[in-house]
C-alpha cells in the first residue's frame, strides 16, 4: 500500500488555499504518495475534529503523516501529540510553534517538522511598502485575518514593530476571515457608518490579496470617491495578486511562497531517508513591485 498523507487547510473560499491544495496534490503525485485534502472552513473546532478523526482511525487506515495549516495558533498541541503517539508524522505549515521542539525530543524517530513562509518578514515588508507608498507619512486602514490566526498575529506584530517611530500610523483595524466576501461585508459595514472626512485612510493594507479585492468592491459600491486610495495585499499568485498589480488594482502585493507542497516533500524525504530526518523549511517572501521601485515611483508623484 502507498503511504497516505492528510493535508489540512483553512478554507476552500480563498485562492491561496486552493493553490496550497493544488501544490500538495502535485507533490504527492510526484512522490508516489496518496493525499487527502480537507478544509476547516476557517473554524478551529472543525479542524480539531477533522484531525482527531484521522488519528482515531484503525491502524491500517491511519495516514502516515498530517500536514496542517492551523486555524488557531495554540489549538493543535494536544492533537499533534496524539498523532505522534500513534506514529503519525506531523508537519506544520503555519508559524513555527514551540511545541514542535518538545515533541521532536519525545519522538526522535518520527518526522515532527514545519514548512513555513516567513510571516514576520511579510509584516516587515508590509511596513516598508506603506512607508514607500505614503512617503513616510499617513494613516493606514489595516485589514487583517481572524484574531486567533497565528499568521495574522505574526504579520501584525512585525508590521507594527517596523513602523514604530515613523510617521506612518495604523489608524483603524478591521478583521475579516481571509475571504473576498468576508472582507467586503466588514468593509461595507465600516463604510456605512457616519464617517467624518478625517476618517478617510491614506492607504488600505490587507493581509491577503483576496481581502484587498473585497475591500475595493465595498469602496466601489459605497464610497466610490475613495476608490483612488492605494490598496496592498499579500500572497501574490501569478493570476491573482500579481495580475492585480499589473492592472494597477493593487499598488503592491507580497509574493508569498506556497508551503503545502514543501510540507508533502518533507514527508516524502523522511520516508526514503537514509539517515537524519529532513530539517524544517522557511520560505522567504518578496515585495512586488520591489521596495526600491515603490520608493522611486512615489518620488515621481
CATH number of domain containing 24:
3.40.50.2300
Q: Are 60 and 30 in contact (CB under 8 A)?
A: no
> Same domain, yes or no, for 167 and 101?
no
Spatial distance between the Cα atoms of 97 and 88, rounded to a whole number of angstroms: 18
In this predicted structure, the answer to whether residue 277 has a pLDDT above a threshold of 90 is: no
Q: 279 and 194 in one domain?
A: no
pLDDT tops 70 at residue 216: yes
Expressed as residue numbers, the domain containing 95 is 4-118+257-283
Q: Within this chain, do residues 295 and 175 fall inside the same structural domain, yes or no?
A: yes
Residue 171 has pLDDT above 70, yes or no: yes
Residues 143 and 217 occupy one common structural domain: yes
Question: In terms of domains, do 158 and 266 share one?
Answer: no
- Residues paired with 291 in a beta bridge: none
pLDDT at 59: 94
> What average pLDDT does the chain have?
93
pLDDT digits (tens, 9 = 90+) for 7-47: 999 999 889 999 999 999 999 999 999 999 999 998 999 99
Is the same domain home to 159 and 33?
A: no
Do 249 and 293 lie in one domain? The reply is yes
Residue 245 has pLDDT above 90, yes or no: yes
pLDDT on residue 150 = 80
Element (H, E) at 99: helix 99-106
Average confidence (pLDDT) over 129-139: 97
Query: Are 133 and 225 within one domain?
Result: yes
Say whether both 294 and 149 belong to one domain: yes
Q: Are residues 36 and 98 in the same domain?
A: yes
Judgement on whether residues 114 and 184 belong to the same structural domain of the protein: no
Continuous segment of H or E residues that includes residue 169:
strand 167-175
| Domain total in the chain | 2
265 & 293 share domain? no
pLDDT of residue 67: 98
Give the integer Cα–Cα distance in Å for 267 and 33.
10
Among 73-82, 102-111, 132-141, 230-239, the least confident range: 73-82
Residues 227 and 216 sit within 8 Å (Cβ to Cβ): yes
Mean per-residue pLDDT, 224-252: 96
For residue 206, the cross-strand partners are 143
For Cα atoms 147, 201, 11, give the angle at the middle one, nearest 5 degrees.
Answer: 30
Question: pLDDT at position 2, please?
Answer: 86
3-class secondary structure, 138 = strand
Amino acid at each position: 500500500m502507498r503511504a497516505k498523507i492528510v493535508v489540512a487547510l483553512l478554507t476552500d473560499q480563498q485562492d491561496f488555499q486552493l493553490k496550497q491544495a493544488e501544490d500538495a496534490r502535485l507533490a504527492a503525485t510526484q512522490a508516489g504518495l496518496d493525499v487527502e485534502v480537507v478544509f476547516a472552513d476557517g473554524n478551529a473546532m472543525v479542524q480539531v475534529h477533522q484531525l482527531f478523526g484521522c488519528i482515531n482511525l484503525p491502524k491500517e487506515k491511519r495516514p502516515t503523516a498530517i500536514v496542517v495549516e492551523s486555524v488557531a495558533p495554540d489549538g493543535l498541541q494536544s492533537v499533534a501529540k496524539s498523532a505522534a503517539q500513534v506514529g503519525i508524522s506531523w508537519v506544520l505549515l503555519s508559524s513555527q510553534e514551540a511545541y514542535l521542539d518538545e515533541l521532536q525530543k519525545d519522538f526522535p524517530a518520527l518526522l515532527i517538522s514545519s514548512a513555513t513562509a516567513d510571516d514576520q518578514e511579510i509584516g516587515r515588508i508590509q511596513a516598508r511598502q506603506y512607508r514607500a507608498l505614503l512617503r513616510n507619512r499617513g494613516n493606514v486602514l489595516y485589514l487583517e485575518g481572524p484574531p486567533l490566526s497565528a499568521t495574522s498575529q505574526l504579520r501584525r506584530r512585525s508590521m507594527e514593530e517596523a513602523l514604530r517611530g515613523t510617521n506612518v500610523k495604523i489608524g483603524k483595524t478591521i478583521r475579516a476571515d481571509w475571504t473576498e466576501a468576508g472582507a467586503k461585508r466588514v468593509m461595507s459595514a465600516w463604510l456605512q457608518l457616519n464617517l467624518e472626512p478625517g476618517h478617510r485612510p491614506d492607504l488600505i493594507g490587507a493581509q491577503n490579496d483576496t481581502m484587498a479585492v473585497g475591500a475595493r468592491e465595498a469602496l466601489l459600491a459605497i464610497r466610490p470617491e475613495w476608490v483612488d486610495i492605494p490598496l496592498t495585499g499579500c500572497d501574490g499568485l501569478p493570476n491573482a495578486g500579481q495580475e492585480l498589480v499589473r492592472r494597477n488594482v493593487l499598488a503592491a502585493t507580497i509574493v508569498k511562497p506556497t508551503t503545502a507542497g514543501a510540507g508533502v516533500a518533507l514527508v516524502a524525504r523522511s520516508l526514503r531517508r537514509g539517515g537524519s530526518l529532513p530539517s524544517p523549511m522557511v520560505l522567504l517572501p518578496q515585495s512586488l513591485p520591489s521596495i526600491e521601485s515603490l520608493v522611486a515611483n512615489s518620488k515621481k508623484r
